[in-house]
Amino acid sequence: MQNLSADAQPSPLTCPDCGGGLWELRQSKPLRYRCHSGHGFTAASLQAAQTQTAEHALWSNVRALQERELLLRRLASVAQATGDHPQAEAGRRAADQVRAQVKQLSKLTQPDENIGNGL
């Protein structure tokens, strides 16, 4: 850390590998970042790592929501079979809401051609 503070300034970014704070190296061309544990990035490699981390997080959330929808529909089916029609309907409504969330979140996983232009 002492060496970093002599050659770099703290940045508001975090390391995609370990989650530690990144330091922006002074007078570095191309622009470079380093974390306290030694992970190093150029601006381009940091952007690529952030993109990969964000995409992984989005798909993990999509999968979790899809599983939640499956469980809600299964619970609604069991409620219907046992004659608890109000609970079955509530479960189906909740599952429909989760499905809508999945659709919205899935839209975020589509590539945006404008991101990265001009960097």
Instruction: Encode pLDDT of 9-29 as tens digits.
Output: 999 999 999 999 999 998 878
> What's the rounded mean pLDDT across residues 86-94?
98
At residue 108 the predicted structure's pLDDT band, cuts being 50, 70 and 90, is: confident
> pTM of the prediction?
0.69
Rounded Cα–Cα distance for residues 18 and 43 (Å): 17
Do 67 and 104 lie in a common domain? yes
Rounded Cα–Cα distance for residues 35 and 98 (Å): 38
pLDDT of residue 115: 52
Name 23's bridge partners: 10, 34
- Domain assignment present for 95: yes
- Domain assignment present for 117: no
Do 57 and 91 lie in a common domain? yes
Do 42 and 70 lie in a common domain? no
- Domain assignment present for 29: yes
- Domain assignment present for 93: yes
At residue 4 the predicted structure's pLDDT band, cuts being 50, 70 and 90, is: confident
Closest by CA to 11, choosing from 36, 30, 48, is 36
C-alpha distances in Å from residue 69, one per residue of 5, 80, 82: 49, 16, 20
Do 65 and 83 lie in a common domain? yes
pLDDT of residue 113: 53
- Domain assignment present for 118: no
Q: How many domains does the chain have?
A: 2
pLDDT of residue 5: 73
> Could you give the residue ranges of the DSSP H alpha helices within 1-119?
2-7, 43-81, 85-108
Do 101 and 59 lie in a common domain? yes
* Residue 98 burial by Cβ neighbours in a 10 Å radius (0-12, 13-18, 19+): buried
Residues spanned by the domain of 35: 2-46
pLDDT of residue 117: 47
Do 38 and 63 lie in a common domain? no
> What's the rounded mean pLDDT across residues 2-9?
78
Instruction: Encode pLDDT of 31-87 as tens digits.
Output: 999 998 889 999 999 999 999 999 899 999 999 999 999 999 999 999 999 999 999
Do 42 and 82 lie in a common domain? no
3-state SS, residue 42 = strand
Return the higher-pLDDT residue of 107 and 88.
Answer: 88
- Domain assignment present for 10: yes
- Domain assignment present for 115: no
Note every long-range contact of 107-115, with CB atoms under 8 Å and residues 24 or more positions apart, other chains counting.
108/58, 109/55, 109/58, 109/59, 109/62
- Domain assignment present for 67: yes
Peptide bond into 111 cis (omega under 30): no
